[in-house]
Structure 1
């Protein structure tokens, strides 16, 4: 073999080895790309969705108001005198006619006895007048006495009859005053604090209230609503956009701590007159209060179902982006995220009531859009979203509070060290 031939063979071997290496490198890059594509296909992000269906939803209006007793009676003295006894326990339930106070009645007893004596005297005078008239009647017929004497006897009888009636009226008046010296409850209900004690002098016609009785079952709650809102509601009902509530309007009572009262009330009436100063209309509802949980004067929130909207969709608030145009994201048939413009009618708790923009069976995305956006995913996997339970929310709040407390505790030694260093 010549030197030239050997050189050619070495060059060919190197070229073949180089080509083989380049081929293996290219195949490795293609395999890596295929693996990355497969990994992306395997890691299609999941999003939490709610599948919505049309339903009839009640439009609830939340208004503020104060509770008021259905009846309220202020106890006052109708006769004068010294209060001798208080006959009830403050804060207790009293019934109509139950004695509450006893005023010194000796004066009124004496007046009653005097009126009875006057009646006896008047009756005696009437008996004499009747006897005189009986004697004079045959005499005047026989012309034994003058007609004038007979007429005087008739007048005396009529005067005696009037005297008897006046005496009876005086007895009745004295009896009323005597009965009023014992002050009784005008209505049944819970009685509050006594504003007077034994030994207090009271007079008829005093403005001072001795005590107040309130009937608390049921309770009234008075609220005000904008006349504009009421007119719009009535117009939507007239146009067929909303339906009237059948069987009357029910109301729920919510306390300041967010708890809802266990019994439902019912709207009684809406005042037909608009307040000229505020533009508000007064509404009144009655709420059962069997256990006396509701108290007069208590500030509450009133939830009223004033109308129903048909073919509406209930969507969690976090799924709706509010703005000039309200939008939601849905998972379409191809598995991609698709924006939809919707019409929000009203809030219902933690949800929005949507009247336009959605269709039966749409999968509205509630959770997971941020991760899908970061991955620039063209497709997503829908998974039915379950709202967090109340216990989970409370646990999360407790963890947040503990974390904040831990950060504060950890910062205390650092603050002390910084203070010592400064000194």
Structure 2
């Protein structure tokens, strides 16, 4: 061991000679690390430059335009290994020609799509306005049976729904007021006959000078007054509804030798039978035997069957098309019968129930086969209006609830092989199965697309999206 204070000799270590590295290998290793770092830096710088340049240059562009721009930048400046990042080229938006709103098709495309162009025709036929309706009794010919005095009903001889003829008995009445009117008529008749005979006697006397002229004049005046009272009583019986066939017998036996029975038969005078004044059917009965009625009460209603009314409903949007005197074709779908009529009346108000305006026509019913409240289908002929046109039904296309057609625009065509079509909004007046009557938007002689209009509508939308970048409204 070494003495204290002496340093220990160094331990023996294996001999190591310095490692010889070839200069080319050392340079290659350093160059490899530097080249890899350089490539990563170039890629990052290129991405940053392209992204930043695209943001500032193409801000506000559509996604499609932005992608195309970025693609052009990326392909013109690839991030190749070891390549120096180049400054991005300045991108400028090329001005595009604005779309003229027309769809152009050449002859080959027209043939492949099957586009057919037809001329617009002026409206010459009337519009067929189909309406629903019902039949009803002619209110102007209804006969309401009512008493014209206070009376007791002792019998009803006609039921509801019964057919009656003119003169058939309907209701039996008993009235003291009627008896008083008949008595008054008889009294006035007797008094008039008395004054008439007295006048004839005094006429002879005045000629002989037995009486004065003044007495004779007074006799004439009395006869005139009694005759007037008689005629008034006769008219009163007529107003009360007593037929002449029942008035004449009241005075038939009231001569100079009238019996008491002729004057005092009050029970018979109080009786009266109401008879039907027309042929028809009893459509309403409000009378019951044993009840008292007055002149305000309707006992029965009789309707003639030789004529009926037809009420049709016209909705508010079509009210301007209806006029008095227009022809109306009235069809009974369950009877397979058709009648011709004319508009006789147009209501001045809208029905609260149907929200429609009612129009009326009259039809004959000679065989009484038609009934009231039968359903009918009416077709109203609306005369053609100047300026309205007719096109095929397939020509009209709907976009967002609005009707359009495609009209050929030959004025804008520069190539004989290319046809140009414009989309035009129209206002239909009526849509039928095969045709559309157009109120506004087209002129007679213009050409519209019939077959292929839906395909042109899709082409129009595609080109509008491509031109504006937004869907059509």
How does the TM-score come out when normalised to structure 1?
Answer: 0.51
Which residue of 2 is the match for residue 151 of structure 1?
A: 214
In structure 1, stretches of 5+ residues that fail to align are: 1-43, 235-244, 374-423
CA contact (8 A) 1:328 1:341 kept: yes
Distance change (3 Å), C-alpha of 1:75 and 1:46: farther
Cα offsets for 1:347-401 (capped at 9, x unmatched): 333353246289688662379969x99xxxxxxxxxxxxxxxxxxxxxxxxxxxx
Aligned counterparts of 1:206 and 1:229: Cα–Cα separation in 2:
39
CA contact (8 A) 2:126 2:383 kept: yes
Aligned counterparts of 1:152 and 1:112: Cα–Cα separation in 2:
32
Shift of 1:107: 7.2
Matches within 5 A, 1:143-222: 151-174=214-237, 177=240, 179=242, 181-186=272-277, 188-203=279-294, 205-213=295-303, 217-221=307-311
CA contact (8 A) 1:91 1:191 kept: yes
The answer to whether the aligner puts 1:266 opposite 2:350 as a matched pair is no
The answer to whether the aligner puts 1:288 opposite 2:363 as a matched pair is yes
The answer to whether the aligner puts 1:327 opposite 2:404 as a matched pair is yes
The partner residue of 1:347 within 425, 430, 440 is: 430
Shift of 1:160: 3.7
Shift of 1:76: 2.0
Cα offsets for 1:112-154 (capped at 9, x unmatched): 36633552344234423542453355345xxxx7x5xx63454
Shift of 1:192: 0.4
Matches within 5 A, 1:115-126: 115-116=185-186, 118-126=188-196
Matches within 5 A, 1:51-62: 54=121, 56-61=124-129
Aligned counterparts of 1:325 and 1:300: Cα–Cα separation in 2:
30
The answer to whether the aligner puts 1:135 opposite 2:198 as a matched pair is no
- SS at structure 2 position matched to 1:192: strand
Aligned counterparts of 1:200 and 1:366: Cα–Cα separation in 2:
78
CA contact (8 A) 1:125 1:160 kept: yes
Aligned counterparts of 1:67 and 1:253: Cα–Cα separation in 2:
10
Distance change (3 Å), C-alpha of 1:134 and 1:229: closer
- SS at structure 1 position matched to 2:285: coil
CA contact (8 A) 2:154 2:290 kept: yes
In structure 2, stretches of 5+ residues that fail to align are: 1-110, 244-271, 409-415, 460-473
Shift of 1:54: 2.6
- SS at structure 2 position matched to 1:307: coil
The answer to whether the aligner puts 1:364 opposite 2:450 as a matched pair is yes
CA contact (8 A) 2:331 2:376 kept: no
Aligned counterparts of 2:125 and 2:281: Cα–Cα separation in 1:
40
Shift of 1:345: 2.1
The answer to whether the aligner puts 1:74 opposite 2:144 as a matched pair is yes
Distance change (3 Å), C-alpha of 1:168 and 1:347: closer
Structure with greater contact order relative to length (CA < 8 Å, sep ≥ 6): 1
Mark the structure with the bigger radius of gyration: 2
How does the TM-score come out when normalised to structure 2?
Answer: 0.46
Aligned counterparts of 1:61 and 1:173: Cα–Cα separation in 2:
54
RMSD between aligned alpha carbons? 5.5
Aligned counterparts of 2:241 and 2:407: Cα–Cα separation in 1:
82
- SS at structure 1 position matched to 2:233: helix
- SS at structure 2 position matched to 1:191: strand
Cα offsets for 1:231-266 (capped at 9, x unmatched): xx79xxxxxxxxxx9x952234589x9999733432
Aligned counterparts of 2:402 and 2:317: Cα–Cα separation in 1:
27
- SS at structure 1 position matched to 2:160: coil
